[in-house]
Chains A and B, each alone.
Chain A
Amino acid sequence: EPEVTQTPSHQVTQMGQEVILRCVPISNHLYFYWYRQILGQKVEFLVSFYNNEISEKSEIFDDQFSVERPDGSNFTLKIRSTKLEDSAMYFCASSGLSGSSYNEQFFGPGTRLTVL
Protein backbone atom coordinates (compact mmCIF):
# COMPACT_ATOMS: atom_id res chain seq x y z
CA GLU A 1 0.00 0.00 0.00
CA PRO A 2 1.44 3.41 -0.91
CA GLU A 3 2.45 5.60 2.01
CA VAL A 4 3.97 8.96 2.84
CA THR A 5 7.52 8.73 4.14
CA GLN A 6 9.50 11.28 6.09
CA THR A 7 13.18 11.67 6.90
CA PRO A 8 14.79 11.92 9.33
CA SER A 9 12.62 10.45 12.06
CA HIS A 10 14.41 12.62 14.63
CA GLN A 11 16.45 15.79 14.06
CA VAL A 12 18.40 17.57 16.76
CA THR A 13 19.75 21.04 16.01
CA GLN A 14 21.17 24.08 17.70
CA MET A 15 19.11 27.25 17.95
CA GLY A 16 19.73 29.50 14.97
CA GLN A 17 20.64 26.68 12.61
CA GLU A 18 18.78 25.86 9.42
CA VAL A 19 16.98 22.55 9.11
CA ILE A 20 15.34 20.82 6.18
CA LEU A 21 12.71 18.21 6.79
CA ARG A 22 12.05 15.86 3.93
CA CYS A 23 8.92 14.06 2.78
CA VAL A 24 8.09 11.75 -0.08
CA PRO A 25 4.34 12.01 -0.77
CA ILE A 26 2.29 9.29 -2.41
CA SER A 27 3.34 9.24 -6.04
CA ASN A 28 0.12 10.25 -7.82
CA HIS A 29 -0.92 12.86 -5.26
CA LEU A 30 -0.84 16.53 -6.16
CA TYR A 31 -1.63 18.34 -2.90
CA PHE A 32 0.99 18.43 -0.14
CA TYR A 33 0.82 19.67 3.42
CA TRP A 34 2.88 20.28 6.53
CA TYR A 35 1.46 20.17 10.04
CA ARG A 36 3.19 20.32 13.38
CA GLN A 37 2.39 19.15 16.89
CA ILE A 38 4.15 20.72 19.82
CA LEU A 39 4.37 18.25 22.69
CA GLY A 40 1.07 18.15 24.57
CA GLN A 41 -0.68 20.44 22.11
CA LYS A 42 -2.94 20.11 19.07
CA VAL A 43 -1.85 19.18 15.58
CA GLU A 44 -1.63 22.52 13.74
CA PHE A 45 -1.80 23.25 10.02
CA LEU A 46 1.24 25.04 8.60
CA VAL A 47 0.95 25.10 4.82
CA SER A 48 -0.55 23.46 1.75
CA PHE A 49 1.11 23.29 -1.65
CA TYR A 50 -0.29 22.64 -5.09
CA ASN A 51 0.99 23.14 -8.60
CA ASN A 52 4.36 24.33 -7.33
CA GLU A 53 3.02 27.08 -5.16
CA ILE A 54 1.61 27.64 -1.70
CA SER A 55 -2.18 27.49 -1.75
CA GLU A 56 -2.87 28.12 1.95
CA LYS A 57 -0.75 28.94 4.96
CA SER A 58 -1.38 29.60 8.62
CA GLU A 59 -0.14 32.41 10.82
CA ILE A 60 2.53 30.06 12.13
CA PHE A 61 4.10 29.82 8.67
CA ASP A 62 6.11 33.04 8.78
CA ASP A 63 9.19 34.11 6.84
CA GLN A 64 11.34 31.61 8.71
CA PHE A 65 9.55 28.77 6.94
CA SER A 66 9.62 27.77 3.30
CA VAL A 67 8.50 24.77 1.29
CA GLU A 68 9.79 23.36 -1.94
CA ARG A 69 9.25 20.49 -4.30
CA PRO A 70 12.78 20.23 -5.65
CA ASP A 71 12.11 17.24 -7.86
CA GLY A 72 9.26 14.96 -8.83
CA SER A 73 9.19 13.05 -5.58
CA ASN A 74 10.37 15.10 -2.59
CA PHE A 75 8.56 17.82 -0.67
CA THR A 76 10.62 19.75 1.86
CA LEU A 77 10.05 22.10 4.75
CA LYS A 78 12.91 24.47 5.58
CA ILE A 79 13.23 26.41 8.79
CA ARG A 80 15.86 29.10 8.23
CA SER A 81 16.89 29.96 11.77
CA THR A 82 15.43 27.58 14.32
CA LYS A 83 14.09 28.75 17.65
CA LEU A 84 13.47 26.76 20.80
CA GLU A 85 9.72 26.99 20.19
CA ASP A 86 10.11 25.22 16.83
CA SER A 87 10.66 21.97 18.73
CA ALA A 88 7.75 19.77 17.68
CA MET A 89 6.68 16.76 15.66
CA TYR A 90 6.31 17.76 12.02
CA PHE A 91 3.90 15.77 9.86
CA CYS A 92 3.82 15.75 6.09
CA ALA A 93 0.61 14.76 4.29
CA SER A 94 -0.59 14.42 0.72
CA SER A 95 -3.92 14.07 -1.04
CA GLY A 96 -5.14 13.32 -4.52
CA LEU A 97 -6.86 15.44 -7.12
CA SER A 98 -9.96 13.33 -7.56
CA GLY A 99 -11.75 10.22 -6.47
CA SER A 100 -11.75 8.85 -2.94
CA SER A 101 -8.39 10.45 -2.11
CA TYR A 102 -9.62 13.96 -2.91
CA ASN A 103 -10.72 14.77 0.62
CA GLU A 104 -8.46 12.40 2.49
CA GLN A 105 -5.03 13.48 3.60
CA PHE A 106 -2.52 10.67 4.02
CA PHE A 107 -0.02 11.40 6.77
CA GLY A 108 3.58 10.38 7.20
CA PRO A 109 5.02 9.11 10.50
CA GLY A 110 6.47 12.49 11.40
CA THR A 111 9.87 14.02 12.11
CA ARG A 112 10.58 14.97 15.70
CA LEU A 113 12.58 18.21 15.69
CA THR A 114 14.43 19.12 18.87
CA VAL A 115 16.02 22.57 19.05
CA LEU A 116 18.65 23.01 21.76
Chain B
Amino acid sequence: AQSVTQLDSQVPVFEEAPVELRCNYSSSVSVYLFWYVQYPNQGLQLLLKYLSGSTLVKGINGFEAEFNKSQTSFHLRKPSVHISDTAEYFCAVSPGSARQLTFGSGTQLTVLP
Protein backbone atom coordinates (compact mmCIF):
# COMPACT_ATOMS: atom_id res chain seq x y z
CA ALA B 1 0.00 0.00 0.00
CA GLN B 2 1.05 3.57 -0.60
CA SER B 3 0.68 6.66 1.55
CA VAL B 4 1.32 10.34 0.95
CA THR B 5 2.11 12.99 3.55
CA GLN B 6 1.81 16.69 2.88
CA LEU B 7 3.40 18.26 5.90
CA ASP B 8 1.90 21.73 5.55
CA SER B 9 -1.86 22.16 5.51
CA GLN B 10 -1.61 25.90 4.87
CA VAL B 11 1.15 27.98 3.31
CA PRO B 12 0.77 31.76 3.15
CA VAL B 13 3.30 33.57 1.00
CA PHE B 14 3.67 37.06 -0.42
CA GLU B 15 3.33 37.71 -4.12
CA GLU B 16 6.57 37.26 -6.11
CA ALA B 17 8.17 35.26 -3.30
CA PRO B 18 9.35 31.69 -3.87
CA VAL B 19 7.38 28.77 -2.46
CA GLU B 20 7.95 25.10 -1.74
CA LEU B 21 5.13 22.69 -0.95
CA ARG B 22 6.37 19.49 0.63
CA CYS B 23 5.32 15.95 -0.19
CA ASN B 24 6.66 12.68 1.13
CA TYR B 25 5.45 9.23 0.19
CA SER B 26 5.90 5.66 1.23
CA SER B 27 5.56 2.62 -0.99
CA SER B 28 6.93 -0.88 -1.24
CA VAL B 29 6.93 -0.67 -5.05
CA SER B 30 8.05 1.91 -7.55
CA VAL B 31 5.51 4.66 -8.05
CA TYR B 32 4.45 7.42 -10.36
CA LEU B 33 4.14 10.84 -8.71
CA PHE B 34 1.77 13.69 -9.43
CA TRP B 35 0.86 17.16 -8.30
CA TYR B 36 -2.69 18.38 -8.85
CA VAL B 37 -4.15 21.84 -8.22
CA GLN B 38 -7.74 22.61 -7.30
CA TYR B 39 -9.11 26.11 -7.73
CA PRO B 40 -12.32 26.99 -5.87
CA ASN B 41 -15.38 25.17 -7.23
CA GLN B 42 -13.34 23.39 -9.88
CA GLY B 43 -12.00 19.89 -10.41
CA LEU B 44 -8.45 18.69 -9.99
CA GLN B 45 -6.02 19.82 -12.68
CA LEU B 46 -2.69 18.12 -13.28
CA LEU B 47 0.30 20.40 -12.68
CA LEU B 48 3.06 17.89 -13.39
CA LYS B 49 3.98 14.24 -13.17
CA TYR B 50 7.03 12.08 -12.67
CA LEU B 51 7.02 8.71 -14.41
CA SER B 52 10.73 8.04 -15.02
CA GLY B 53 13.88 9.72 -16.31
CA SER B 54 15.02 13.16 -15.15
CA THR B 55 14.24 13.73 -11.51
CA LEU B 56 13.47 17.41 -12.12
CA VAL B 57 10.06 17.77 -13.67
CA LYS B 58 8.63 20.96 -15.07
CA GLY B 59 4.91 21.57 -15.22
CA ILE B 60 2.38 24.20 -16.09
CA ASN B 61 2.18 27.72 -14.66
CA GLY B 62 5.93 27.81 -13.86
CA PHE B 63 5.86 25.01 -11.29
CA GLU B 64 8.50 22.31 -11.00
CA ALA B 65 9.11 19.37 -8.70
CA GLU B 66 12.06 17.18 -7.88
CA PHE B 67 11.83 13.47 -7.25
CA ASN B 68 14.21 12.33 -4.52
CA LYS B 69 14.14 8.58 -4.22
CA SER B 70 16.42 8.34 -1.18
CA GLN B 71 14.26 10.80 0.76
CA THR B 72 11.01 9.55 -0.81
CA SER B 73 10.04 13.12 -1.52
CA PHE B 74 8.48 15.02 -4.39
CA HIS B 75 8.42 18.68 -3.34
CA LEU B 76 6.75 21.29 -5.52
CA ARG B 77 8.42 24.63 -6.11
CA LYS B 78 7.82 27.92 -7.84
CA PRO B 79 10.42 30.72 -7.88
CA SER B 80 7.90 33.57 -7.92
CA VAL B 81 4.21 33.15 -7.11
CA HIS B 82 1.23 35.18 -8.30
CA ILE B 83 -2.08 35.95 -6.67
CA SER B 84 -3.67 33.58 -9.19
CA ASP B 85 -1.68 30.65 -7.73
CA THR B 86 -3.91 30.73 -4.65
CA ALA B 87 -5.47 27.26 -4.60
CA GLU B 88 -5.30 23.85 -2.94
CA TYR B 89 -2.44 21.62 -4.07
CA PHE B 90 -2.53 17.84 -3.84
CA CYS B 91 0.35 15.40 -4.13
CA ALA B 92 -0.58 11.93 -5.35
CA VAL B 93 1.08 8.60 -6.13
CA SER B 94 0.11 5.52 -8.07
CA PRO B 95 1.86 2.16 -8.18
CA GLY B 96 3.50 1.55 -11.51
CA SER B 97 1.30 -1.42 -12.27
CA ALA B 98 -2.03 0.07 -11.24
CA ARG B 99 -3.90 3.26 -11.84
CA GLN B 100 -5.52 4.20 -8.59
CA LEU B 101 -4.21 7.45 -7.16
CA THR B 102 -3.45 7.85 -3.48
CA PHE B 103 -3.68 11.50 -2.47
CA GLY B 104 -2.14 13.55 0.28
CA SER B 105 -4.35 15.70 2.47
CA GLY B 106 -3.62 18.84 0.45
CA THR B 107 -1.87 22.15 1.04
CA GLN B 108 -3.76 25.41 0.79
CA LEU B 109 -1.47 27.98 -0.82
CA THR B 110 -2.54 31.54 -0.21
CA VAL B 111 -0.65 34.27 -2.05
CA LEU B 112 -0.85 37.62 -0.31
CA PRO B 113 -0.53 41.00 -2.06
> Which residues of chain A (78-116) have a CB below 8 Å from chain B?
91, 93, 95, 103-110
Asked, given contacts A48-B99, A56-B99, A58-B100, whether A109 binds B106 with beta carbons under 8 Å apart, the answer is: no
Counting CB contacts under 8 A, is B29 at the interface? no
In chain A, positions 37-69 with a C-beta closer than 8 Å to chain B are: 41-45, 48, 55-56, 58
Instruction: Tell me the chain B residues, 31-84 only, with Cβ under 8 Å from chain A.
Output: 32, 34, 36, 41-46, 49, 51
Which A residues lie within 8 Å of B25 (CB)? none
Contacts of B98 in A (CB 8 A): 56
Task: Tell whether, in the assembled complex, residue B105 and residue A31 are in contact, meaning their CB atoms are under 8 Å apart.
Answer: no
In the complex formed, the residue of B with least CB distance to A40 is B105
Q: Is B89 an interface residue (CB 8 A)?
A: no
Question: Measured between C-beta atoms, what is the minimum distance from A110 to chain B in Å?
Answer: 6
- Whether B43 contacts A44 by the Cβ 8 Å rule is no
Question: Given known contacts A42-B106, A103-B49, A104-B49, is B43 in contact with A48 (CB within 8 Å)?
Answer: no
Given A42-B104, A103-B51, A104-B49: A33 in contact with B99 (beta carbons within 8 A): yes
Query: Which residue of B is nearest A93, CB measured?
Result: B44
When chains A and B are docked, how far (Å) is the Cα of A4 from the Cα of B44? 11
Nearest A residue (CB) for B41:
A109
Kindly report which residue of chain A lies nearest to residue B46, judged by CB atoms. Answer: A104
Whole-angstrom CA separation of A33 from B99 in the bound complex: 9
Task: Output the least CB separation between A99 and chain B (Å).
Answer: 13
B102 located at the interface, meaning its Cβ lies under 8 Å from any Cβ of chain A in the complex? yes
Q: Please pick, from A43, A45, A103, the residue contacting B32 in the complex, using a CB distance under 8 A.
A: A103
| Chain A residues engaging chain B, CB cutoff 8 angstroms | 4, 31, 33, 35, 41-45, 48, 55-56, 58, 91, 93, 95, 103-110
Which 5 pairs of residues, A with B, have the shortest CB-CB distance? A107-B44, A107-B43, A43-B103, A45-B100, A109-B43
Could you tell me which B residues sit within 8 Å of A by CB distance? 32, 34, 36, 41-46, 49, 51, 90, 92, 94, 98-106
